[in-house]
Structures are given as C-alpha cells and as structure tokens.
Chain A
Amino acid sequence: AQTVTQSQPEMSVQEAETVTLSCTYDTSESDYYLFWYKQPPSRQMILVIRQEAYKQQNATENRFSVNFQKAAKSFSLKISDSQLGDAAMYFCAYRSEAAGNKLTFGGGTRVLVKP
C-alpha cells in the first residue's frame, strides 16, 4: 500500500523568507500524481500545486514550487517570500489510477509565519 510521510510536524518562517516542507512517499508504481494541499484555520482544503510523475520538470505556482525527486520518492514544497496568509496546515498527497484514484495524505505540517 502507498504511504506518504511528512516528517516535520511544524515549521516556523519569518515573513518574506523561504520555507521548505518535506514529503516522502512509498510506491511501486511508475505513473502517479502528487499534490500539496493547504488547510487554513477555516479547514477548507485548497489545492496549492500538483505534479505528474512522468514530468521531470518541477511544478511551480507563483511563490510555490516543488522539488520532485522520483528516484528518491521525495516531493518537497518551497514557499518563497512567505506571507502571513500562508500560515496553515500543509498536506502532501499521492494519487494513482492503479491504486484506485483515491488520495493518500501525509500527516501534515503546520506552518507558522512570524511578522
């Protein structure tokens, strides 16, 4: 079964600085998708960024970018120029058609942004 691990329960970053969240996963499949979701205090799950495993180029969305290392099964998220609104729980998630299309989530990393 696929597993997703986020080893950092909490990360703190100064406003305007950069923070990197780690995520590793375990799978025997070659075709899959990876996601980062943000969950602010409202508890709404917001898609931050997605990555297709067959693409070597790392995905970017404005201030958010990933470092996808397929061989190492690593998928870290970098938040640049951190803003107060970035404070939230961040969840890494895995999905594959072979595993039934469901999302498998990591345990989450809480990001605190200091003004």
Chain B
Amino acid sequence: NAGVMQNPRHLVRRRGQEARLRCSPMKGHSHVYWYRQLPEEGLKFMVYLQKENIIDESGMPKERFSAEFPKEGPSILRIQQVVRGDSAAYFCASSPPRGSGPTDTQYFGPGTRLTVL
C-alpha cells in the first residue's frame, strides 16, 4: 500500500511566479491536510479538505493561496505570485474516512521544499 505521495519534492520559483504542489493521499483515504514548515520551526496547519470540499481553511493566508481536492486526481496547493517568505517545506497528510480506520491518525507525505529566488 503506497504511502502519501507528494510532487515535486523540490520546487524553485522566482518571485511573482506560481507554485503548484500536488498530493496523492494513501489509498482509501479521503481526508487531506496541508501544513507548512518554516526553517527551524514546527509544522503549521493550513487547510483541511475532503473530496470536492474545503472543510477548514483557517490556516491559509487570505491572499495568493488556494487549495483543492477534486473528485478525481490529487489535491493541489496553489500559491500565486510567490514571494521569498513563501520559501518553506509544505507537507500533505491524509487520514481515512470515518468508519474505515483510525481517523485520528494522519500519515504524512515526504513534503515539497519550495525555494523562492
């Protein structure tokens, strides 16, 4: 059973460009979470999605950031007009739907390290 997959693992963008980060949850998982980790800090929650729905986006910056989890395909975290302060590691985690496993446990992907030049 493949784990959570994220790509790309490393992404370099110049200021003003767009960054698209992809996350494929574990097989059978329908809940996806995105977290951001700045250097030397812990992970901070950004957004929680289920298929075709944003459940909680309280951790997302109000501008330039968006996320989706379509019916088919991976979840996408999109950052428009990137700035140097967006440089960080972005982690995706997934958990199973209710009734099919320990929904309280989130399993993490390897992360995408975004560098903005």
Contacts and interface: CB of A to CB of B under 8 A. Distances in A.
Given A33-B104, A45-B91, A105 B110 contact: no
A1 to B, nearest CB: 10
Interface string A77-103: 000000000000001000100001111
Nearest to A32: B104
Contact of B45 (A37, A52, A103): A103
Contacts, number: 59
A104 interface: yes
Contacts of A106: 42
A37 B108 CA distance: 10
A50 B110 contact: no
A50 B104 contact: yes
Contact of A44 (B56, B108, B113): B108
Nearest to B33: A102
Interface in B102-116: 104-108, 110-111, 113
A115 B113 CA distance: 31
B46 to A, nearest CB: 9
A35 B106 CA distance: 10
A78 B44 CA distance: 25
A50 B105 contact: yes
Interface string A36-53: 010000111111001010
A88 B83 CA distance: 30
Nearest to B103: A101
B77 to A, nearest CB: 15
B33 A42 contact: no
B41 A100 contact: no
Find the residue from B91, B95, B108 having the highest chain A CB count within 10 A.
B108
B61 interface: no
Given A50-B105, A101-B48, A103-B33, A45 B56 contact: no
A52 B56 CA distance: 23
Find the residue from A43, A46, A103, A105 having the highest chain B CB count within 10 A.
A103
Given A44-B108, A50-B104, A102 B42 contact: no
B43 interface: yes
Find the residue from B31, B93, B113 having the highest chain A CB count within 10 A.
B93
